[in-house]
């Protein structure tokens, strides 16, 4: 391929592998922190999910007749597996990771034609597929037990948890903040009283609350997200509008009726709001092409998240929200179009100076 | 179902076999017609894989191979009988009223099947529920009546109904088997309800401690499995075409 020489063809600053590398780099702190927090089972799950995603990608590339050697390294399958692992319950058994990796890469991406062709975020396709297929395993959260502490399982015990599911679930399982608010709502109690006794925004900020593998640490996720925005890997509109809309909706609800609606800090810091806002909804393939379109997309995600968390049947909804808005993306792109180069927004040729008025 | 209800002419890669085919010269066409009908119905112009008809009952009932087989046999019977009636009456039915008459004939047959199944195969009847009466609106049956049975002699029409019905049943059973195997780890669960106790040996538990992959039993799993089966059929076709072109 020759380099284009004329004006509008500006070279992107980064290649696909480099972009994917930036995403992994930005999510690495939160992920490593969570691996430390949840111990060896989480580490095993991360490895299994990544290995399955890469193997599935190799299979898809082979089936579609493309070179495995040149395309496997583009990092897209690696990132899909990585984000998926971040959103799984930390002590999930090995077959959750394997099924999830296959669902993400084959059903979420491969059958649409591979990298850049998929309609839906691959990691979220797998997340939702797993949640629907294995409701018990996918909602079994554990108390954080950092590596090195007395409650943390050793390496061999970690293998046993991953491969045989042998753990004393009654002793270690725990409800997430969103589970607790959901239960309180269903019993008609004030939601804020339903929160676990030790719910503190500080703990949620740092990540010491039960939840998916790497959705916990709000601080590290936000830092990683800001890094990506600064490096212009992700557009700033999506996280800003998504989190802003979510905060706005929850604040309005909380002001009107604090008994029924949780406040903005619960919505922003619990569950996978930040993970979705910075790393999932910003997937360039499945989000709209224009700035205004992306704002609509992000606001829609936030609205769905808030409505399902508050009124719906599931305590957490970021995956559903992202998938629904992915489905709406072609429609958004139809109505809000980018300006064609050399033309006005209405599609007319730009007036030139030489033209007589 | 709205888009489904319009009869779609068969489009077979080996050329149309629908009534007024321009090249339907009886002298060259006749010898292979039975083979062509069989090939079309079972594979080339399969109701599901090629015509993409009857997807609604297909996706709804194929949670197990047994359910698929049950609906397949019921549909097969209606298809053959409808082809016989439509073809026999094709000289009497005028064009403007043909669709209502076809539907009336099919509905009569479905009512028969419905009552017989309720009486003798009650557990299966309960499992299939609404989808037995809904065979009336199965667009594949109306489609074959419109494009084939109303234009061909009785023998060919009945044979076409039989082959199309077999093709449909095969897809129902295959899709049901895939979804049952992945979703619950069994094959032909409760087959004795349909075929009698002698067939209890068909019921296989492939994977004893299957965790239950609920996704495959739910409608999305039906769509995903159907997509993969169709992709597999196209892959086979393409391979066969490639081998055929290499050795002329």
CB contact under 8 A, B213 and A135: no
- A137 to chain B: nearest residue by CA? B211
SS (H, E, C) chain B: CCCCCCCCCCCCCCCCCCCCCCCCCHHHHHHHHHHHHHHHHHHHCCCCCCCCCCHHHHHHHCCCHHHHHHHHHHHHHHHHHHHHHHHHCCCCCCHHHHHHHHHHHHHHHHHHHHHHHHHHCHHHHHHHHHHCHHHHHCHHHHHHHHHCHHHCCHHHHHHHHHHHHHHHHHHHHHHHHHHHHHHHCEECCCHHHHHCHHHHHHCEECCCCCCCCHHHHCHHHHHHHHHHHHHHHHHHHHHHHHHHHHCC
Q: What is the pLDDT of residue A26?
A: 93
Nearest residue to B127 via CA among B177, B71, B171: B71
Nearest CA in chain B to A64: B235
Answer yes or no: is pLDDT of A179 > 90. no
CA dihedral sign, ordered B81, B86, B91, B97? positive
Confidence check on the interface: ipTM exceeds 0.85, yes or no:
no
pLDDT of A155: 80
Residue ranges covered by each domain of chain A: 16-335
pLDDT at A129: 92
**Chain segment B5-36, per-residue pLDDT in tens:** 444 444 444 444 544 444 445 544 455 788 88
Asked if the model's pLDDT at residue B184 lies above 70, the reply is yes
Structural domains of chain B, count: 1
Beta strand ranges found along chain A (DSSP E): 141-142, 173-174
DSSP code at position A142 = E
Tell me the pLDDT band of A228, cut-offs 50, 70 and 90: very high
Model confidence pLDDT, tens digit, residues A235-276? 999 999 999 999 999 999 989 888 888 888 888 887 788 999
Residue A144 touches partner B, C-beta closer than 8 Å? no
- Residues in A touching B228 (Cβ below 8 Å): 111
| Residue of B215, B227, B231 lying closest to A133 (CB–CB) | B215
Is residue B203 a part of any domain in this protein? yes
Q: Confidence band (pLDDT; 50, 70, 90) for A163?
A: confident
Instruction: Look up the domain containing B64 and give its range.
Output: 35-246
**Stronger pLDDT, B121 or A301, i.e. the higher one:** A301
Determine, yes or no, domain membership for B131. yes
| pLDDT at site A113 | 86
pLDDT at A281 over 90: yes
Candidates A133, A136, A140, A163, partner chain B, best to mutate (most B CBs within 10 A): A133
Residue B17 lies in a domain: no
Q: Is residue B137 part of a domain?
A: yes
Whether B74 is covered by a domain: the verdict is yes
Of B211, B220, B228, the CB nearest to A134: B211
Residue A332: band (very low, low, confident or very high) from pLDDT cuts 50, 70, 90? very high
Answer whether B213 sits within 8 Å of A134, measured CB to CB.
yes
**pLDDT, tens digit, 9 for 90 and up, residues B71-112:** 898 999 999 999 999 999 999 999 899 999 999 999 999 999
**pTM for this prediction:** 0.81
Mean pLDDT of A19-35: 90
- Tell me which chain B residue has its CA closest to the CA of residue A99: B213
Predicted local distance difference test score (pLDDT) of residue A159: 83
Q: Residue A323: CB partners within 8 Å, gap ≥ 6?
A: A120, A121, A124, A125, A128
């Amino acid at each position: 391929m020759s380099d284009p020489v004329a004006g509008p063809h500006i070279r992107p600053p980064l290649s696909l592998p480099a972009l994917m590398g930036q995403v992994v780099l930005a999510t690495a702190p939160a992920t490593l922190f969570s691996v430390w927090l949840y111990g060896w089972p989480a580490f095993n799950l991360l490895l299994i999910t990544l290995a399955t995603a890469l193997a599935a990608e190799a299979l898809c590339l082979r089936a579609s007749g493309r070179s495995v050697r040149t395309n496997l390294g583009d990092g897209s399958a690696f990132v899909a597996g990585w984000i998926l692992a971040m959103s799984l319950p930390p002590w999930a058994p090995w077959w959750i990771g394997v099924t999830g990796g296959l669902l993400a890469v084959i059903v979420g991406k491969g059958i649409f034609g591979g990298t850049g062709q998929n309609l839906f975020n691959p990691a979220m396709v797998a997340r939702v597929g797993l949640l629907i297929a294995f409701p018990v395993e996918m909602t079994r959260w554990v108390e954080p037990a950092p590596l090195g502490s007395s409650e943390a399982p050793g390496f061999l015990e970690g293998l046993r948890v991953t491969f045989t599911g042998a753990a004393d679930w009654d002793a270690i399982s725990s409800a997430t903040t969103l589970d607790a608010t959901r239960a309180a709502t269903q019993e008609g109690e004030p939601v804020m009283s339903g929160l676990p006794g030790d719910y503190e925004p500080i703990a949620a900020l740092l990540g010491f609350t039960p939840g998916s593998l790497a959705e916990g640490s709000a601080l590290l996720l936000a830092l990683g997200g800001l890094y990506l925005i600064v490096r212009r890997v992700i557009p700033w509109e999506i996280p800003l509008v998504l989190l802003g809309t979510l905060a706005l909706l929850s604040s309005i609800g909380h002001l009107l009726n604090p008994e029924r609606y949780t406040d903005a800090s619960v919505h922003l810091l619990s569950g996978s709001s930040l993970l979705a806002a910075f790393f999932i909804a910003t997937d360039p393939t499945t989000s709209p092409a224009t700035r205004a379109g992306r704002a609509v997309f992000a606001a829609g995600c936030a609205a769905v998240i808030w409505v399902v968390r508050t009124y719906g049947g599931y305590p957490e909804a970021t995956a559903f929200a992202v998938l629904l808005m992915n489905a709406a993306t072609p429609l958004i792109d139809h109505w809000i179009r980018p300006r064609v180069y050399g033309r006005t927004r209405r599609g007319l040729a730009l007036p030139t100076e030489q033209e007589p008025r | 179902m709205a888009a489904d209800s319009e009869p779609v002419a068969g489009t077979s890669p080996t050329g149309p076999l629908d009534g007024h085919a321009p090249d339907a010269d009886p002298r060259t066409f006749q010898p292979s017609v039975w083979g062509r009908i069989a090939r079309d119905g079972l594979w080339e112009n399969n109701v599901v894989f090629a015509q993409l008809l009857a997807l609604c009952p297909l996706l709804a009932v194929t949670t197990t191979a047994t359910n698929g087989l049950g609906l397949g046999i019921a549909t097969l019977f209606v298809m053959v009988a409808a082809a016989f009636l439509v073809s026999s009456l094709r000289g009497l039915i005028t064009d403007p009223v043909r669709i209502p008459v076809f539907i009336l004939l099919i509905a009569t047959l479905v009512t028969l099947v419905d009552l017989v199944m309720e009486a003798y195969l009650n557990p299966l009847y309960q499992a299939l529920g609404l989808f037995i009466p809904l065979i009336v609106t199965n667009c594949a049956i109306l489609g074959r009546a419109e494009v084939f049975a109303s234009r061909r002699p009785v023998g060919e029409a009945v044979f076409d109904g039989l082959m199309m019905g077999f093709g449909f049943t095969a897809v129902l059973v295959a899709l049901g088997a895939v979804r049952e195997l992945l979703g619950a780890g069994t094959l032909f669960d409760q087959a004795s309800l349909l075929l009698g106790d002698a067939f209890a040996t068909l019921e296989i538990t492939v994977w004893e401690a299957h965790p239950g992959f609920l996704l495959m039993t739910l409608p999305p799993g039906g769509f995903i499995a159907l997509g993969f089966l169709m992709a597999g059929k196209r892959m086979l076709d393409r391979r066969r075409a490639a081998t055929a072109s290499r050795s002329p």
